[in-house]
A and B are shown apart, each in its own frame.
Chain A
Amino acid sequence: MHITVKLFATFRVGRFAAQAREYPEGTRIADVVRDLHIREAEIGTIMLNNRHAEPDQQLNDGDNLSIFPLVGGG
């Protein structure tokens, strides 16, 4: 299935800003995160189709997935 993955801030370094990617049926958000070699502890927000999502959620064909890193400075 086609998943459009958007990465934000430092997650783009050595990866990409946005990419249409192919994943098998039943893929969860956590699988994509692992596939991209992103450590889960570095993730701030996950957005699936404009809404906040959790790593255990399953993806569907045509989904838009965005991954943001933790930001904590002041």
Chain B
Amino acid sequence: MEQLHAFLRDHATADLLPWPAQTAAAQRFGTPLALVEEAALGLGLLPARYQRNRQAITVDQQLTLFQSRVAVIGCGGLGGYVIEELARLGVGTIIAIDPDVFEEHNLNRQLLSSPANLGQAKVAAAAARVAEINPAVTLVPIQASYAPDNGGELLRDARLVVDALDSIPTRLALAQTCAELEVPLVHGAIGGWYGQVTTQFPGDDTIQRLYSRWVEGKGVEQHLGNPSFTPALVASVEVAEACKILLGLGKTLRHRKLFINLLDMEFEEVKFVRHLVPVDE
């Protein structure tokens, strides 16, 4: 470890560690790139790939992100962008959960899909993409459906869960699992030109209230489909929320729902006040 630290210090330019030095260290010491990255950040050296993060995120915060484990439930429209942005942000471990393979109707919007990988598992494409764009990040691909009975196992050790699902009842179940595991949940949903985002901490019930009148089936997406720009935007808002929660920064959408209407370019905020406990008379 001492030798690795000395190597990293010797090969840093000011406090930036260039990518060739990071890969050379991994090779020379037979260490995974992830461990090199963690060691560098621990020494106060910023892998140079993150230098444009720096006005927003300090080296210490970059280390916190790298040591974070985030689960993304769904690797379709929202999930593809969420995974891309988490990986580029430098979140160290991403658990990607989705049972599906890519189909042709995914190509209009799902970032990880291409004509060449139709028929391939979405989580396998996610792993390949992350290995390509940020090899220091570990993506754990789980080709399975999230369900209440496996949720505890799938989400174990996650610091945070990002909802990129396409089903209302599964979302409600996920909210329940996250409450039981005491993990924050960032919710996003899309349909046509419209989308919504909120953040739920253990003990909150915003998501349950968003869908309290749901009986069966889907929302507006059933008839409106999903164009390319809505998932990209909603996923970006979700990742901004995730980043703030992991770092304890700023003000999240807790107890607030952001409703996005891209057709008329309107952004509406709905406040969810906590339920007041009735006083016995």
Interfacial chain B residues near A9, Cβ < 8 Å: 191-194, 220, 261
Within 8 A of A (CB), among B94-120: none
Evaluate contact between A70 and B214: CB separation under 8 angstroms: yes
Contact B270–A10 (Cβ < 8 Å): no
Q: What residues of chain B lie closer than 8 Å to A8, measured between beta carbons? A: 194, 259, 261, 268
Bound Cα distance A69, B77 (Å): 20
Contact, CB under 8 Å: A43 / B213: yes
Chain A: interface residue total (CB-CB under 8 A)? 21
Q: How many A-B residue pairs have CB under 8 A?
A: 106
A73 pairs with B221, CB closer than 8 A: yes
Task: Name the CB-closest residue of B to A6.
Answer: B268
Structural contact, B270 and A73, CB atoms closer than 8 A: no
From the candidates A40, A41, A69, name the one contacting B220 in the complex (CB within 8 A): A69
B residues with a Cβ closer than 8 A to A are 74, 76-79, 163-168, 171, 188-196, 209-211, 213-216, 218-221, 223-224, 226, 231, 257, 259, 261, 264, 268-273
Give me 10 other A-B pairs in contact (C-beta within 8 A), A68-B270, A71-B221 excluded.
A8-B261, A9-B261, A40-B213, A44-B196, A45-B210, A70-B219, A74-B79, A74-B163, A74-B188, A74-B189
Pairs of residues from A and B, 5 with the lowest C-beta to C-beta distance, nearest first: A73-B221, A70-B219, A72-B219, A74-B166, A72-B168
Q: Which residues of A contact B (CB under 8 A)?
A: 8-10, 17, 40-41, 43-45, 47, 50-52, 66, 68-74
